[in-house]
Amino acid sequence: MSVTAYLAIGVFAVTYVLIATERIHRVAAALGGAAAMVLIGAARGHTVFFSQDTGVDWNVIFLLLGMMIIVGVLRQTGVFEFLAIWAAQRSGARPFRMMVLLCLITAGASALLDNVTTVLLIAPVTLLVADRLGLNPVPFLLAEAMASNIGGTATLIGDPPNIIIASRAGLSFNDFLVNLGPIVVLLLVVFLALAWVLWGRHLRVDPARAEALMSLRGADAITDRRLLGRLVVILVLVLAGFVTHSLHHIEPSLVALLGAGAAVLVSRLDHAVYLDDVEWETLVFFAGLFVMVGALVEEGVIGQLASSVTAAVDGRHLLATQGVLVGSAALSGLVDNIPYVATMSPLVQDLVGHSTTMTPQRGALWWALALGADLGGNATAVGASANVVILGIARRNGSPISFWSFTKYGLVVTAVTVAVCVPYLWLRYFVLG
Amino acid sequence: MIAADLAENIPTVLRETLASEAARVIAEYRLPGLIVADDAGVPIAVVPGSQLLAVILPQYVREDPALAHVFGERDADELCAKLNDTTIGALLDAQKLVAKELPSVLPDDTVLEVAAVMVAEHMPLIVVRGEDGTYHGAVMLSRALAAIAARAGQDSELMRRRLERDLLPPPPPSATGPAGAGSP
């Protein structure tokens, strides 16, 4: 390897430590790392801007931007609040039933939209219904954060790591749905059983307080029914656009941007309202990461690493798959899963080869990476953005959740859900595949 | 017109005053905020009235205002009744009310200086204090704007009355704080 390659490894390692330890803000660290890559000559303008493999992956950035704008418009309608109150009332004020319904709504919304916004909208309603019933909201909030991370695993757009994997591997929305959808359904069933053991069996509510819940006027949460109707149509069309990609070959990022444009047009909202929901920091963070990882690819570091790993794997794909699953889950609990997946993707790509020539055994590595990174986010309070958001909301509302009180449940949930994935990957891709 | 001319005697509340009583005082006198006084009746802090409104709202409604739509009248009664369960002091200690440390002007400050402090502090209510700390009363936004409108050539009976008549009669010469100081 060249001197530049060694310098690039140094820059990458320092930046990664800064991101993982949060010594400086992750956006500043990623942009600083990207700038250093340019200064040492490892990243160049034509690759940074115009190469999907070694520069900024605009498909990822614009898919995220489009979906953020759609959610920004949709949240103005109050539909999330309506759904959560409807679920709580539908449960007949029975706490565990209420937890199940809220978790299913959270998981479903996280699969179709993004999970941070989902928990941001479901959590305040959860606090409201818990307050009405005189229940401790903490078990509900914990369950929702974890359901959101599990639900988001099911689709290409559900969790940012999946978007990176999809773009890098050339996998479609349907690939994710077909390969991860079934296991996520199973994981949700297992998670809800765990939720009963961890929290549900301890929940008690005073029957006299049920009336306070039933008196809430959930339908009044919807501020604009006409707009909601139009947005539902747009969302269905966007999802149809993702599902029918093989027919029209329009990139998911463009489908999302078309949907965002249509949502803005029909809503006639002021730009400040829907742009307020765009997480610009996340988008810039992604760009910085792509430049850094691209520099490693450009300098041949990833290729060399992939050769070493390929030699070590020596055709033992099952072992490699289970190693990626468990290793990704462990690492994603400790560090942000976005930089982890951004770094691992080119490596896995070298191991797997192009999607058109991918065997089920080799392809299993991508699913192991997605499952490990997404489910590992449940392990600790800082493992996923949704967890951090839930902790912040709980603290501001006088029900603080400490790092360890999240983590002691998160570790159990992660261990069990990852354990369920081990036989799934083996059966589906190595026995039946 | 200088700050001493604009200053008027307005009701104050104590730390021990119930939040519901404080709300009543604001409503009765149409105050833009609360002046909190110590036991001797000397003003120690100013709180914008809108903060008292926020006290009845659970934090989750403040984070997602759309949730306010789902409450019925009975729920609203319950939430409003919470003002009977707490005092101004308790709310200040819990930082549910964030008091400003007496934004003040000197008695001989001009209207422009009064306006500058109100704008800088985002406060519709400021106190007038001498250099030795003597309290001369408070200036409310409505009176400051009346003085400004008069300078801009506006005139009306109501506006003149606002400039000439104080909200409360001046305190007796022996009093240490403003008349009406303490729990109203």
- Chain A residues within 8 A of B64 when measuring between CB atoms: 81, 121, 124-125
- Chain A residues within 8 A of B58 when measuring between CB atoms: 127-128, 131, 397
Nearest CA distance, B74 vs chain A (angstrom): 9
Provide mean pLDDT across the span A136-163: 94
Most A CBs within 10 Å: which of B55, B57, B60, as the mutation test of the A interface?
A: B60
Provide mean pLDDT across the span A131-152: 94
Domains (range + CATH), chain B: 3-164 (3.10.580.10)
**What pLDDT does residue B183 have?**
42
**What pLDDT does residue A355 have?**
61
Most B CBs within 10 Å: which of A131, A132, A138, A216, as the mutation test of the B interface?
A: A216
Residue B171 confidence (pLDDT) above 80? no
Residue B101 confidence (pLDDT) above 60? yes
Most B CBs within 10 Å: which of A215, A225, A227, A399, as the mutation test of the B interface?
A: A215
Provide mean pLDDT across the span B103-126: 94
Is 0.85 exceeded by the ipTM? no
Q: What digits encode the pLDDT tens for the residues B49-98? A: 889 998 999 989 988 888 888 888 888 898 899 899 999 999 999 888 88
**What pLDDT does residue A342 have?**
85
The answer to whether the CB atoms of B69 and A78 lie below 8 A apart is yes
Provide mean pLDDT across the span B145-159: 93
Partners of B87 in the β-ladder: B18
Provide mean pLDDT across the span B105-121: 95
Instruction: Give the lowest-confidence range in A202-211, A259-268, A403-412, B164-173.
Output: B164-173
pLDDT confidence band for A206 (50 / 70 / 90)? confident
pLDDT confidence band for B18 (50 / 70 / 90)? very high
Residue B178 confidence (pLDDT) above 80? no
Provide mean pLDDT across the span B148-168: 90
**What pLDDT does residue B176 have?**
44
Report the SS3 class of residue B109.
coil
Provide mean pLDDT across the span A193-217: 89
**What pLDDT does residue B1 have?**
85
Nearest CA distance, B77 vs chain A (angstrom): 12
Provide the residue count of chain B.
184
Provide mean pLDDT across the span B8-20: 92
- Chain A residues within 8 A of B75 when measuring between CB atoms: 212, 215-216
Residue B174 confidence (pLDDT) above 70? no
- Give the A window 256-315 contacts with B, CB below 8 Å: none
Instruction: Give the lowest-confidence range in A75-79, A142-146, A180-184, A238-242.
Output: A75-79
Residue A331 confidence (pLDDT) above 90? no
Whether the CB-CB separation of B70 and A216 falls below 8 Å is answered with yes
The answer to whether the CB atoms of A217 and B72 lie below 8 A apart is yes
Provide mean pLDDT across the span A12-16: 90
Separation of alpha carbons A384 and A378, rounded Å: 7
**What pLDDT does residue A307 have?**
82
pTM beyond 0.90, yes or no: no
Hey, is the C-beta of A396 within 8 angstroms of any chain B C-beta? yes
Radius of gyration from C-alpha coordinates of chain B:
18
CA nearest A243: which of A365, A235, A57, A265? A235
CA distances from residue A149 to A107, A153, A303, B27, B131 in whole angstroms, order as listed? 7, 7, 31, 48, 61
By CB atoms closer than 10 A (0-12, 13-18, 19+), residue B153 is exposed
**What pLDDT does residue A354 have?**
65
